[in-house]
Copies of this chain bind each other. A is one copy, B any other.
Amino acid sequence: MTRILLYLTAGLTLAAQNVVSPEVAADGRVTFRLAAPKAADVLFYGDWMPVGTSKPMAKGANGVWSITTEPLTPSVYIYHFVVDGVTMADPVNPRMKLRARTSASLLEVPGDGNAVWQARNVPHGTVEINYQKSKVLNGETRWVWIYTPPGYAASGSRKFPVLYLFHGSNDTAGGWVLAGHANFILDNLIAEKKAEPMIVVMPFGHAVPFGSPRELQAKNVDVYEQYLLEDVMPMVRAKYRIAGTRAKTAIAGLSMGGGQSLGIGMKHLDLFSAIGSFSAAVPQGLENNIEALKKANPLLWVACGKEDSLFQRSADLAAKLKAAGVNHTWQATPGAHTYTVWRQYLAEFAPLLFH
* Cβ A6 vs Cβ B128 within 8 A: no
Which residues, 79 to 128 on A, are CB-close (under 8 Å) to B?
A: 80, 82-89, 91-94, 96, 98-103, 119, 121, 124-128
User: When chains A and B are docked, how far (Å) is the Cα of A136 from the Cα of B214?
Assistant: 53
* Best-buried of A11, A45, A89, A99 by chain B (most CB within 10 Å): A11
* Cβ A86 vs Cβ B10 within 8 A: no
* Cβ B124 vs Cβ A130 within 8 A: yes
User: When chains A and B are docked, how far (Å) is the Cα of A239 from the Cα of B151?
Assistant: 9
Cβ contact of A103, chosen from B83, B89, B101, cutoff 8 A: B89
* Cβ B84 vs Cβ A84 within 8 A: yes
User: When chains A and B are docked, how far (Å) is the Cα of A52 from the Cα of B133?
Assistant: 39
Q: A96-B103, A98-B94 are in contact. Are A11 and B82 (CB under 8 A)?
A: yes
User: Would you call A36 an interface residue if the criterion is a C-beta within 8 Å of the partner chain's C-beta atoms?
Assistant: yes
Closest CB in chain B relative to A38 CB, distance in Å: 4
* Cβ B337 vs Cβ A7 within 8 A: yes
* Best-buried of A4, A34, A119, A168 by chain B (most CB within 10 Å): A4
Closest CB in chain B relative to A62 CB, distance in Å: 13
Residues of A participating in the B interface, judged by any CB pair closer than 8 Å: 1, 3-4, 6-8, 10-13, 16-17, 34-41, 45, 51-52, 54, 80, 82-89, 91-94, 96, 98-103, 119, 121, 124-133, 139, 141, 153-154, 168-170, 172, 177, 183-184, 210-211, 214, 239-240, 255-256, 281, 309-310, 337
Q: A39-B86, A102-B91 are in contact. Are A4 and B51 (CB under 8 A)?
A: no
User: When chains A and B are docked, how far (Å) is the Cα of A211 from the Cα of B170?
Assistant: 32
Task: Determine the main DSSP class of A at the interface with B.
Answer: loop
* Cβ A4 vs Cβ B169 within 8 A: yes
Q: A51-B6, A119-B131, A169-B4 are in contact. Are A87 and B124 (CB under 8 A)?
A: no
Closest CB in chain B relative to A165 CB, distance in Å: 16
The 20 listed contacts between A and B (C-beta, < 8 Å) are: A3-B309, A4-B255, A6-B52, A10-B52, A11-B87, A12-B87, A35-B85, A35-B86, A37-B85, A38-B84, A39-B84, A88-B88, A88-B91, A89-B91, A92-B101, A121-B133, A124-B141, A126-B130, A129-B129, A131-B184
Cβ contact of A11, chosen from B36, B80, B126, B183, cutoff 8 A: B80
Which chain B residues border A154 with CB–CB below 8 Å? 239
Closest CB in chain B relative to A179 CB, distance in Å: 14
User: When chains A and B are docked, how far (Å) is the Cα of A17 from the Cα of B85?
Assistant: 13
Which chain B residues border A214 with CB–CB below 8 Å? 1
Q: A92-B101, A103-B94, A127-B129 are in contact. Are A168 and B86 (CB under 8 A)?
A: no
